Structure 1
Amino acid sequence: MKIVRSSTFTADRAWGALDIANMNGITTRLHWTDQPYKWHVNDGEEVFAVLHGRVEMRYREAGVEHSTVLETGDVFHASVGTEHVAHPIGEARILVIESEGSV
Structure 2
Amino acid sequence: MRHFRSSDFRAGRAWGALDIAELNGVSVRLHWTNAPYEWHVNEGEEVFAVLDGAVDMHVRQDGEVRIIPLRAGDVFHAQVGDEHVAHPLGEARILVIEKAGSV
Q: Report the TM-score when normalising by structure 1.
A: 0.98
CA deviation digits over 1:61-81, x for unaligned, max 9? 122111011000000000110
Query: Which residue is equivalent to 1:54?
Result: 54
Residue 87 (structure 1) shift? 0.3
Residue 43, structure 1, aligned to residue 29, structure 2: no
**Cα distance in 1, alignment partners of residues 87 and 28 from structure 2:** 20
Query: Which residue is equivalent to 1:80?
Result: 80
CA deviation digits over 1:42-85, x for unaligned, max 9? 01000000000000000011221110110000000001100000
Q: Which runs of 5+ in 2 are unaligned?
A: none
Query: Which residue is equivalent to 1:29?
Result: 29
Query: Which residue is equivalent to 2:89?
Result: 89
RMSD: 0.5
What is the letter of the counterpart of residue 89 of structure 2? I
Percent identity for Structure 1 against Structure 2: 66
SS in structure 2 opposite 1:7?
Answer: helix
SS in structure 1 opposite 2:39?
Answer: coil
Residue 24 (structure 1) shift? 0.6
Aligned length: 103
SS in structure 1 opposite 2:41?
Answer: coil
SS in structure 1 opposite 2:32?
Answer: strand
What is the letter of the counterpart of residue 50 of structure 1? V
Q: Which runs of 5+ in 1 are unaligned?
A: none
